[in-house]
Each structure stands twice: as C-alpha cells, then as structure tokens.
Amino acid sequence: MSAAVEPVHVDAHCIVAVKPSGLLAVPGRGAHGQDCLAARVQAGFADALVVHRLDMSTSGLMLFARGAPSQRALSSAFAARAVHKRYVAVVHGRVDAAQGEIDLPLGADWPNRPKQKVDRAAGKPSLTRWRVLVFDAARGTTRLELEPVTGRAHQLRVHLLAIGHPIVGDALYAPPEVIAQADRLLLHASSLRFTHPHTGEAIAFESAAPF
C-alpha cells in the first residue's frame, strides 16, 4: 500500500484530494486492486468515506465525506445535481464552434463491457456542456472545458466520441492513432464546487490539468 496522500483540503466534515491518472478511485478486485485513492486517503483519515468516483484513467479532484452524516448530505447533493464539476480534456481534431451541448442518451454496451454507448431506445438522458479553450494546430487537437450536467458512466468519453472528437489517449474508446498521441487519458477533473455539509457555505476548489 502506498503512503497516504496530501489532500488539498481537510476539515472536520470533508476532504478534497487529487487522484492521479492510473490509480483506482475505490478498491477493485483482488489484492492488486486494493491500492486506490480511497485507501490512501483513509490511511491518513480513518473516517473518510467515498461520495463519488472518477474513472481509473481520469485524474483530478475527488471529494470525500468525514462521517456518515456528511456522507449522506454530500451524496444527496450529488443525486440532486447540486455538486458542480468541470473537467479539462484534449480531444482529437478541431472543434469549430466556441461552445455547445451534447444531449445523447447513454446505456451499457453489454457485449463490450465495461463500455457504454449512445442508446436512443433505452439509454438514460445524458447532457454534457462544452466550450473550447484552445486549438493546437501542430497536434491537431482541441483543449475543451467540459461540464457534465448528468453523471453517467464514461459520459464525457462517449459523448465526445459520438460527435467525432474522441479524447486523446482514451484506450477504451479512441481509434489507435488517437490513443497513441498520449501515454494517458487526457481528461482531468479540474473544478469542484459544492455546499459545505456542515456550514452550508459555497465552497470551491481548482486543480490545473497536468497535461
């Protein structure tokens, strides 16, 4: 087990930490799946409880509750879409419009698990807002800021693939030439804003993308 992480915020009711790409958010199967951000945070703060998750390949800000009352309050906030998250991603190709929305229902791609897919017949409503930050002509990529209004599994990855702009380094969804452009998924949870479970005050954190 690796050493405890150094969180970006700690108080009596919640913890915010940055998950590296390639580290599980919560424990996985088998002995090799026990090292995860939750375990590393709990090594330093035994009362830390999981509130939400990030994909293993995604880096960025994760929120933990301290104690069951805070976990209930924060979980309810996530369920009510009262926790606002923004991500930075680098995608293949040039995104021409300055901003937009992707409103496509998503569901499990059962023959190809754990993949998800656009499923207009039986998928759950899913909405992603995006805006262009910069186009890199030399690499043929666009840096985007993303806001997932809903929180479906792999939502950002599948939505961007669906509009023809897969995320660079996405080994699960991108074509080989796009995967090869980076040694990791270029997706980072860069902003987290929520209501403090005890004080009721608005609280926000930022984390610069490491790519």
Torsion of CA 19, 21, 23, 24, to 10 degrees: 80
Query: Is 55 a catalytic site residue?
Result: yes
Any bridge partners for residue 103, and if so which? 127
- Beta strand residue intervals within the chain, DSSP E: 9-10, 14-19, 48-50, 59-66, 84-92, 99-103, 106-108, 116-118, 127-136, 141-148, 187-195, 202-206
Task: Give the whole-angstrom CA distance, residue 132 versus residue 135.
Answer: 8
Catalytic pick among 55, 96, 103, 170: 55
The catalytic residues are: 55
